[in-house]
Amino acid sequence: MNKPEKLPSGRVLVTGATGGIGSALVRRFASAGLDLVLVARDAERLEAFSKEIVQEYGIKAATIPLDLMQAGAARELAAKLAQRRIAIDILVNNAGVTHQGRFDEMAPHQHQQIIGVNVVATTDLLAEFIPPMVERGHGRVLNVVGAAAFIPVPFMATYGASKAYLLSLTESLAEELVGSGVTVCALCPGLTATPMTENIEGSNLSYVKLISPTVSDPAEVADAAYDACMRGQVIHVPGGVNQLIALAGNTMPRWTARRLVGFLARMTT
């Protein structure tokens, strides 16, 4: 793999910036002296976090409160940045939605929420920000995908499918953009100690821990993600156990992976 060109100082756009892996990534990029654009739904929390980051790291941080589930959100975000004359050198697609349960027992709007953020909004953001990067001849994209991209995930079917889509898209774009100065990286952590994890209760949590046995620290995941992104690595799976899961998902027959995960799910429900 050719070593990517060194990025000039510039702006890092992080979606889902105020919690979990997102906030850890914000801190990691800020610690490297890079200025930031923080995007999240909660305007008050976003502003408070931005002030904290600026004070702690001495960098510049712009905030844009935005619900990526709304149609046209990526276009709106790009327009606001253009008005402020802010160019994005590193795009971090961290925002994501998950719901758990049998597909037929979930409400249609829950499926649409997952698809709306994980698939539609992420794709729209890539379409808005990659072309200017290519035109300038430099840029980085970090897509927070997850280990669920490698295996069928019964009882989280739409979520797993959305992550498989994002992994495939990342790999395809990475190959398309070879030689452009723009790299695209998929971060594929397993279970991480985030508010999303804390909201998983009872049998659902037992199931998730069976298919992702270790719980990673967000700061450690962010450190690994930063290094992989800056190296131009296409796929990064932090943690030995998660790497084994990814390897198994890629090497065992699909029917075996499907039946195995389904069996584990039924054991805990």
Choose between 209 and 60: higher pLDDT: 60
Which is nearest to 102 in space by CA: 112, 113, 111? Answer: 111
Q: The CATH number of the domain where 108 resides is what?
A: 3.40.50.720
Please give the structure tokens belonging to residue 220: 């450690």
Other CB atoms closer than 10 Å to residue 47's CB: what's the count? 15
pLDDT value for 195: 55
Residue 187 and residue 228 in contact, taking contact as beta carbons nearer than 8 Å = yes
Please check whether residue 106 lies inside any domain of the structure.
yes
Residue 58's region, left for phi above 0, alpha for psi from -120 to 50, else beta, is left
Q: What residues contact 223, with CB distance under 8 A and at least 6 apart? A: 28
Choose between 124 and 262: higher pLDDT: 124
Range of the domain at 93: 11-267
Please check whether residue 1 lies inside any domain of the structure.
no
Please identify which of the residues 51, 57, 159, 209 carries the catalytic annotation: 159
- Which tens digit of pLDDT belongs to each residue from 145-167? 988 888 888 888 999 999 999 99
Residue 9 has pLDDT above 80, yes or no: no
β-pairing, 11-15 vs 88-93, is parallel
Please check whether residue 195 lies inside any domain of the structure.
yes
- Which tens digit of pLDDT belongs to each residue from 230-255? 999 999 986 545 555 654 555 555 54
Please identify which of the residues 57, 163, 207, 226 carries the catalytic annotation: 163
pLDDT value for 189: 86
Q: What residues contact 134, with CB distance under 8 A and at least 6 apart? A: 177, 180, 181, 182
- Whole-angstrom distance, CA of residue 226 vs CA of residue 171: 18
Please check whether residue 81 lies inside any domain of the structure.
yes
- Which tens digit of pLDDT belongs to each residue from 181-236? 999 999 998 765 455 544 544 445 554 555 555 556 889 999 999 999 999 999 99
Residue by residue, DSSP assigns 173-209 as HHHHTTTTTEEEEEE---SBSSHHHHT--HHHHHHHH
Q: pTM of the prediction?
A: 0.84
Residue 119 has pLDDT above 70, yes or no: yes
Is 3 tagged catalytic?
Answer: no
Residue 99 and residue 106 in contact, taking contact as beta carbons nearer than 8 Å = yes
Is 80 tagged catalytic?
Answer: no
Please check whether residue 4 lies inside any domain of the structure.
no
pLDDT value for 230: 95
Please check whether residue 70 lies inside any domain of the structure.
yes
Residue 129 has pLDDT above 90, yes or no: yes
**Number of separate domains in the chain:** 1
pLDDT value for 191: 64
pLDDT value for 152: 82
Average model confidence (pLDDT) across the chain: 84
Other CB atoms closer than 10 Å to residue 158's CB: what's the count? 21
Residue 34 has pLDDT above 50, yes or no: yes
Choose between 238 and 87: higher pLDDT: 87
Please check whether residue 186 lies inside any domain of the structure.
yes
Please check whether residue 181 lies inside any domain of the structure.
yes
- Report residue 106's pLDDT band, with 50, 70 and 90 as the boundaries: very high
